[in-house]
Amino acid sequence: MLSESRGAVRLALHVQPGAKRSAIVGVHGDALKVAISAPPVEGKANDAVRTFVAAALGIPAHMITLVAGASSRRKVLLIEGVALSDMQARIDVLLQRSRH
């Protein structure tokens, strides 16, 4: 789900666009599963993914770049300026919350 790449963190996502509400759903294989309320039309879901993940992780959206999967449910985000251990801790908290 997470890996280091050139001083940044790569986060693999499995995205469900068009959901009732945006939420961290859990884990799908080796990716964080995210439901997004935006439809998969004209990049709206991609923009919503970036904004939602930034808010959920408590980081500014400008630190996140979509680097793979623009037209796929499987996406990879590159997160600049954060440590892998810090991102892992934040994701662990999000996953605990999603289970309750």
DSSP 46-60: HHHHHHHHHHHHTS-
Residue 40 has pLDDT above 90, yes or no: no
CATH architecture of 2-99: 2-Layer Sandwich (3.30)
Cβ atoms 76, 11 nearer than 8 A: yes
CA distance 28 to 12: 10
What pTM did the predictor assign?
0.91
Q: Please enumerate, as own/partner, the contacts of 36-42 that have beta carbons within 8 Å and a separation of 24 or more.
A: none
- Per-residue model confidence (pLDDT) at position 42: 82
Token pair belonging to 87: 């991102």
What's the mean pLDDT in 12-37?
A: 94
Residue 100, pLDDT score: 67
Instruction: Please give the average per-residue pLDDT across 4-26, as a whole number.
Output: 93
With tokens 């996953």, the residue in question is 95
Map out the domains of the chain as residue ranges.
Answer: 2-99
